[in-house]
Structure 1
Amino acid sequence: MKKFSVLLFAVAAVSLTSCDYQKNNHIEQKDVRAGDEWVYGVSPDSAARQLKNKYTANPELEKRTNAIREKLFGSGKVNEGA
């Protein structure tokens, strides 16, 4: 019974200390791109300017990508599941 109570105390202590674990696990840094429209957009609700870039599809790259995927993961369909 004594071992059970010690174990229960240990579990309670660990669970209570883990509540604020991530609160102190960060570092404050100055944002060097603060206010940059290219990264953050004109306002907080708008999309970044760099997201407006559109690229034309290249079928040759898609074939190459599928060949690499097949070599790494074997033949099968994408998103087929495990």
Structure 2
Amino acid sequence: MKSTLTKLSLVIALGFVATACDYQKYNSIRQKDVRENDEYVYGVHKDSAAVQSKNKYTPRPELEERTQKIREKLYGAGTIGEGA
């Protein structure tokens, strides 16, 4: 009985390992990238930053206060440097 149970668990484990190789194989979509050569989205080169990430915004202190309140609500009181 014990050896049968061991063999059965081995077969089940082997089945899980075999199916894990194709995990989410069909959970993707193959489609043409309409912005494939768009420098604004991807930058001039694969390793360069995109143009849209170089935008600079004027600082708004009232948003910092709101952001800090949201952080405190989610993670508790503390500073950003303390970590979780």
- Class of the TM-score when normalised by the shorter of the 2 chains: 0.7 to 0.9
Correspondence 1:80 to 2:65: no
Name the structure 2 match of 1:25.
27
Q: Which of 59, 62, 65 lines up with 1:60 in the alignment?
A: 62
TM-score, with normalisation over the residues of structure 1? Answer: 0.76
Q: For 2:75 and 2:50, how far apart are their aligned partners in 1? A: 35
Q: CA deviation at 1:52?
A: 1.4
Q: What are the ranges of 5 or more consecutive residues in structure 1 without an aligned counterpart? A: none
Change (3 A) 1:24 1:71: closer
TM-score, with normalisation over the residues of structure 2? Answer: 0.74
Q: CA deviation at 1:23?
A: 4.0
Across the two proteins, how many residue pairs are aligned to each other?
A: 81
What's the secondary structure of 2:21's corresponding residue? helix
Deviations 1:46-76 (A, max 9, x none): 2211111112322221112112322344322
Q: CA deviation at 1:80?
A: 3.2
Correspondence 1:4 to 2:3: no
The percentage of counterpart residues that share the same residue type is 53
Q: For 1:47 and 1:69, how far apart are their aligned partners in 2? A: 28
What's the secondary structure of 1:75's corresponding residue? coil
Name the structure 2 match of 1:15.
17
What's the secondary structure of 1:20's corresponding residue? coil
The one-letter code of the counterpart of 1:69 is R
